[in-house]
Amino acid sequence: MEGAFNFFFLFCLLLLLLPYPISSLPLCTDLGAPFPPQKPLVFCPYSGNVCCDSAKDLQLQKQYEAMNISDTACASTVKSILCATCDPFSAELYRAGTRSRPVPVLCNSTGSADSLVSKQATSSYCSSVWDTCQDISIKNSPFAPSLQGAGTSQNSTSSTLTDLWQSKSDFCDSFGGASADDSSCFQGKPISLNKSDTLPAPKGMCLEKVGNGAYLNMVAHPDGSNRAFFSNQRGKIWLAKVPEQGSGDSLELDESSPFVDLTDQIHFDTSFGMMGMAFHPNFAQNGRFFASFNCDKVSNPGCSARCACNSDVGCDPSKLPPGSATDAPCQYHMVVAEYSANGTASAPSQAETAKPTEVRRIFTIGLPSSSSHGGQVLFSPADKYMYIMTGDGGLKGEGHNFAQNKNSLLGKVMRIDVDNFPSEGNTDLWGNYSIPRDNPYSKDKEAQPEIWAEGLRNPWRCSFDVERPSYFVCADTGQDHYEEVDIITKGGNYGWPAYEGPLLYDSKQSATKNNTVDITNPIFPVAGYSHSDVNKKEGSAAISGGYFYRSTTDPCMYGSYVYADLYAGNVWAAAETPKNSGNFSATSIPFSCAKDSPMNCSTVPNSRLAALGYIFSFGEDNNKEIYILTSTGVYRIVQPSRCDFTCSKEVKTSASPNTPPSSSNGHHITIQFLFSKCVRLQLAAQRRSRCKTTAIADENLGSHIALSCFYSNQVLHMTETTGAGGAHAQNKNWSRD
């Protein structure tokens, strides 16, 4: 009992030592990213990336002059308050997303040492505003109770604070607020972040292997339990029980009993299949879940939608390049469909199976090529809307400029409402959903209203920071030179195909070559890497986006964004300094498998690196533990000391003894798994848009299997011989020609 108490005490102490998260990110009141104005601001004292252009600056100046404030001190105070809307943190200052505010939250108490701003006022700024302006007449005062939702409007357009409010206390109760670790307030000048020291990069990442399957997606069960859903590219979803840290157990997942099998509805080959899944935030009550997959209109009569290559975007499907659409223009489609777990258990949260019958076709679009089509879907933990990621269509150099065309949904992040459906007469949308009112182009007749962000090539795994939902991060696969990590914001333009990462993209086939002026305020990546920096053997790279690490298991990793390269030779931890600045510094870190891993974990010859095969994506469970989904299995980040990595913040505890893993684990590899390795390598190659062709043999048990994956003018062969009854004679051979 005493040992358990000591562990609990140490755990609580560790929580106290960790930085308390804050929700702020440099964002404007419209939730868009700050930008460099084309002309310097004249009236408001802000420079660099701001939230006002010269027109807004002039508008604020006219508003200020119309107030006709006679007192110099009060006039200066009001000017600084009006100009706070230009602050790059104005979304936080105005509490954007809640009720509308005429002025920012005014500091009315001293903030803590760890708060967002570097130095808080030693006395209440809100009190100072009252003391300075209480008896000064202000025309069309922004401090009127009616503007703040308190009281009735005044008859006179000119009034003092004492005319409008009974006391300083009432005034500050309405306009004031404290600056704490999770919020900020206005103290009369632009926000300045803490000059926090740069934390040392983690010494290494320790992993344990908890599963043998090769999966593309992992989603934590929405009921908050220790369960998670896993899916593969073929279209099967499994419900698994996740083991506790230090238990020595592996995933409880029975591949013979999937949660739902959608393979009959999905076109599966090297570059197509089930690309994503999402569970409604209220799944535990309503049983709704969604799958994103591809279908073939030639073999599936129900696979039908308008082609993304159409007259609205200046594209003629009949003139698509040879091989881009295989047998027919827009033969393949991207689909987001709804399914239900209702009726399979007493409550959806208890369901262990679901119905494979499609409830509703949410979204469908015809694809102009067989690559770069994205496909991830997820829900925001903040606004509960569905986000859909699409690639640019895969045409070399993006010659049709889909990613920059607001009439196209390719190369975009979309945001839709799947809880409210359009009227029967609304035929302008691409499926059964409605448009959130605050989408950036919801009222723009010259743009698709679904668009949340644009200028992406092929986003491969996006995630929200569970501690700060305003941090919505996507990894975007590059073309020839650069893999990038982007913070996605409302209306953000991420540059492709004019830019590949921070670099001007140079391609004779690019529709935007030498025409970058058409892109207003492109947002450049916060992290990334050049192809020349990694994987020199293949001469290429493909990023796999991850998560902000929020578990307490590895405290030296806490707060870093973790991502990797497909070829499993590099994993990065990107730390933000100062905190909440949007400025990241990424470090490539070594990774090893714990010797006491629940399942056998191989290493790269002559190296400590874990032999992960290919890294497809990442996952996060309800305990905020991070998983890496690879071609060789499922791995989880564990305490660094289990791999002899040092972390001064780690509180070491004695874990349950683990039984050494048996080498027989390797015999769990099935033909389907081997096939998936080839398929996913080809999928990655398609993300690079350099695939030539693929030969796939019959995969019936008892036969000789020969699989070939072509990549960058090299062919990778795998052979697997199976005996009667499916017994495996392990005879795998990889080679490059």
| pLDDT the model gives residue 192 | 83
Residue 408's pLDDT is 96
Predicted local distance difference test score (pLDDT) of residue 699:
34
Q: What is the pLDDT of residue 396?
A: 63
Q: Closest Cα to residue 295, out of 324, 265, 256, 271?
A: 265
pLDDT at 507: 64
CB–CB of 655/640 below 8 Å?
no
* SS3 readout for 390-436: CCCCCCHHHCCCHHHCCCCCCCCEEEEECCCCCCCCCCCCCCCCECC
Amino acid residing at 102: P
Would you state the pLDDT for residue 607?
86
Q: For residues 157 and 175, what is the distance between their CA atoms, to the nearest angstrom?
A: 20
What is the amino acid identity at position 377? V
The residues pairing with 618 across neighbouring beta strands, listed in sequence order, are: 628
SS (H, E, C) 646-710: CCCCCCCCCCCCCCCCCHHHHHHCCHHHHHHHHHHHHHHHHHCCCCCCEEECCCCCCCEEEEEEE
* Burial (Cβ within 10 Å: 0-12, 13-18, ≥19) of residue 3: exposed
d(CA 63, CA 498): 38
What residue ranges of the chain are covered by domains with CATH 2.120.10.30? 214-667
pTM of the model: 0.83
Residue 463 near residue 457, CB atoms below 8 Å:
no
- CA-CA distance, 400 to 314, in Å (whole number)? 8
- Cβ-based neighbours of 326, under 8 Å, separated by 6 or more: 332, 370
pLDDT score at 679: 42
- Pairing label, strands 591-593, 205-211: parallel
Return the number of other C-beta atoms located less than 10 Å from residue 348's C-beta: 24
| Residue 6, SS3 per DSSP | helix
Strands (E), 256-331: 260-261, 274-279, 288-296
User: Fold for domain 214-667?
Assistant: Neuraminidase (2.120.10)
Backbone angles phi, psi at 382, to 5 degrees: -95, -60
With beta carbons less than 8 A apart as the criterion, state whether 455 and 478 touch. no
pLDDT of res. 319: 81
Residue 576 makes CB contacts below 8 A (sequence gap 6+) with 559, 561, 582, 583, 584
Contact 168, 554 (CB under 8 A): no
Distances (CA, A) of 506 to 396, 485, 512: 12, 20, 9
DSSP lists the bridge partners of residue 218 as: 230
Give pLDDT, residue 540.
77
175 Cβ neighbours under 8 A, 6+ residues apart: 103, 105, 106, 126, 129, 143, 148
SS3 454: strand
Residue 671: φ, ψ to 5°: -60, -40
First to last CA, the chain: 63
The pLDDT, as a whole number, for residue 186 is 93
Q: Which residue in this structure is represented by tokens 């997820």?
A: 378
Cα separation, 25 vs 468, in Å, equals: 9
Check residue 707 and give its pLDDT: 38
Q: Do residues 315 and 334 lie in contact, with contact meaning Cβ atoms separated by under 8 Å?
A: no
Cα–Cα nearest to 685, from 650, 711, 657:
711
pLDDT at residue 623, rounded to an integer: 97
31: left (phi over 0), alpha (psi -120 to 50) or beta: left
Here the tokens at position 237 are 């979803």
Strand partners, 615: 630
The pLDDT of residue 505 is: 87
Half-sphere exposure of 708 toward its Cβ, with a 13 Å CA cutoff? 12
- Structure confidence at residue 508 (pLDDT): 57
| Mean pLDDT of each 10-residue bin along the chain, 737 residues long | 45 36 72 93 95 97 96 97 96 83 85 44 80 95 77 59 93 83 81 72 95 97 98 98 96 97 94 96 97 94 90 86 64 96 94 96 92 92 97 71 94 97 76 95 95 97 95 95 96 95 75 56 95 76 96 96 92 92 93 96 88 96 98 97 94 56 39 41 46 36 35 35 33 30
**Do the bridges between strand 176-177 and strand 106-107 make them parallel or antiparallel, or are there none, so unpaired?**
parallel
